Amino acid sequence: MSFDIELILDSIPKMLVGIGLTFELLFLSLALGTALGIFLLILRISGRWYLAAPTMVYIYIFRGTPILVQIFIIYYGLPQLEFVRDSIFWPILKEPFGCAIVALSLNTGAYLSEIFRGGVLGVDRGLTEAAAALGISVRQRFIYITSPIAIRLCLPAYSNDVVSLMKSTALASTITLLDMMGIARTIVAETYAPYEVFISVMVIYLVITWAIQRTFAWIEKRMSRHVRREA
Amino acid sequence: MIKKIIHSLIATTCFVTFMGFGTASAETLRVGMECTYAPFNFKNEDGKLMGYDVDVAKGVAGLIGADLEFVCQKWDGMIPALLANKFDIVVASMSITDKRLKKMDFSDTYRISVGRLVGKKDSGWNLFDDSGKPNPANFAGLKVGLERATTYSDWFENVLPQATVVLYDTNEALYLDLVNGRTDMIMTNPMKAHLRFLSKEDGAGFEFVSPQIDEKKYFGIGVGIGLRQGNDDLKARLNGALKTLTDGGYLEQYALQYFPFAIH
């Protein structure tokens, strides 16, 4: 196998043109997914079965099917329905970018709500019981006592999910978006050199993953200052 | 005396050989094709070999006075089989490329390599003038669906950079998104577009919105009959026959059995 170093050096800058789109996909769907995750969490722990049950079905479906299938159903499947094309959502679903954001957000929202639930359940019951005894309302207990501890507890799992979401953005290239992966696939189709090009794009993704992990390590450290002993 | 006999022997041999080539039934042309590539070469329900390639092969053989023997050969082994003398000519929709010309020889073309735009009926975009030249300004802002790294995307990026190009991985996805309204038009092989889309229910509201575009720089020369190198005599006869078929309107006649337009 011949290995063309020059092609690697040549294609990395070309693929970096798509890094903006990769980040847009990542941050936008992370923000929407986090909001959705919190919303689902509240429904899930509301204690009302008619709110919790549909949420569980939703989570089961989105965690139980491949995200590629979800992207294809949203991108190619939904427009087959007449009423979808006539609806107010069509301007979003018409654009491949909109479809990618919708799919990634819905998917990551399902995962995140489970991560958040794990955090909430990990909070010592004694704390909320004590707060209840002091006459603090349910809402205040959730915001001021449960949340800060739960966030700290679920941060490692959250950072894992951000990394996997970042990797999932590469699937957007299957619905015509020219993110880094989309550009890489075009270069491969033109040069017939899959090794060089895909290894280059791999290196870029690894660097991004490293940056995400460092960022979260720093946040975790900062948030647990109070339990760390000073030397 | 012996010399004389040898001479006459050689002369007789030559004469017989020459006669052999001269008579119609003595020469058999073995034709390689896939036999599975509808509508160019394929077997119908009765197992009968049909298609545009088959018609061309029969037409050529009739004109040069040879019998035909069809050999079905998988595509990836087509050129090796030709070189290994499993058959004499390839009539299998094989495009003439520089790479192939290094190993084999081709006749003149009997089918063009072209692209054609498909869009909504009566869109009135005025994309091409009467002589078939594109009006670049009218392409501005239009979304064009293309398959990744094809001759079509090459042509668009170089000739009409005003248009917004959207790249797809498969031919089917092109039609889906055209119907869904995500792209305004697509460019593809007109034969494929006709068979897979325009002749089907989904393609009812769509039509060709451009003439056939065949800029050789991008689309190549076309499809020819393949043969081994060094067969200049056969090549000349094939070319002569193809010219007769073209000029006599036979190629168009063959094409119209399968498509509503000529493909030469």
Closest alpha carbon to B263 in B177, B195, B206, B168: B195
Cβ separation A190–B149 shorter than 8 A: yes
Domain over B25-112+221-256 is classified CATH 3.40.190.10: yes
What is the Cα B185 distance to its own chain's centre? 24
Which of B144, B166, B167 is the best mutation test for A, with the most CBs of A within 10 A? B167
Q: Cα dihedral sign for B51, B52, B53, B55?
A: positive
The pLDDT tens digits of the residues spanning A197-230 come to: 999 999 999 999 999 999 999 999 998 888 776 6
Identify the pLDDT of residue A111. 97
Give the 3-state secondary structure of A136-167. CCHHHHHHHHHHHHHHHHHHHHHHHHHHHHHH
Distance CA A37, CA A43 (A): 10
Tell whether omega for the bond before A148 is within 30 degrees of 0, i.e. cis.
no
The amino acid occupying position B65 is: G
Chain A CB contacts of B180 under 8 Å are 76, 79-80, 85, 94
Question: Closest partner residue to B149 among A79, A95, A186, by Cβ?
Answer: A186
- pLDDT < 70: residue spans in chain A: 1-2, 229-231
DSSP A30-49: HHHHHHHHHHHHHHHTSS-H
* Superfamily per CATH, domain B116-219: Periplasmic binding protein-like II (3.40.190.10)
Closest alpha carbon to B90 in B98, B150, B103: B103
Q: Looking at A73-146, list the stretches that DSSP marks H as alpha helix, in order from N- to C-terminal side.
A: 82-86, 90-94, 96-121, 125-133, 138-140
Cβ separation B166–A85 shorter than 8 A: no
Q: At how many degrees (to 10) do helices A19-44 and A147-168 cross?
A: 140
Cβ separation A96–B173 shorter than 8 A: no
Equal fold, B25-112+221-256 vs B116-219: yes
Q: Map out the domains of chain B as residue ranges.
A: 25-112+221-256, 116-219
The amino acid occupying position A96 is: P
Q: Looking at B164-214, list the stretches that DSSP marks H as alpha helix, in order from N- to C-terminal side.
A: 171-179, 190-193
Interface of B with A in 122-151 (CB under 8 A): 148-149
The amino acid occupying position B258 is: Y
pTM listed for this prediction: 0.74
The pLDDT tens digits of the residues spanning A58-82 come to: 999 999 999 999 999 999 999 988 8
CA distances for B147 relative to A177, A181, B189, angstroms: 13, 16, 11
Q: Map out the domains of chain A as residue ranges.
A: 19-177
> Does B173 touch chain A if contact means CB atoms closer than 8 Å?
yes
- pLDDT < 50: residue spans in chain B: 12-24
CATH ID of A19-177, from 3.30.565.10, 3.30.750.24, 1.10.3720.10, 3.40.1160.10? 1.10.3720.10
CA distances for A45 relative to A62, A154, A197, B102, B213, angstroms: 19, 16, 47, 72, 63
Please give the mean pLDDT across all residues of chain B.
Answer: 86
Identify the pLDDT of residue A108. 97
Straight-line distance from the first to the last Cα atom of chain B, in angstroms, rounded to the nearest whole number: 60
Closest alpha carbon to B55 in B201, B259, B198: B259
Residue B85 has φ and ψ, to the nearest 5°, of 65, 30
Which of B148, B157, B174 is the best mutation test for A, with the most CBs of A within 10 A? B148
The ipTM estimated for the assembled molecules is 0.76
As a whole number of Å, the CA-based R_g of chain A is 21
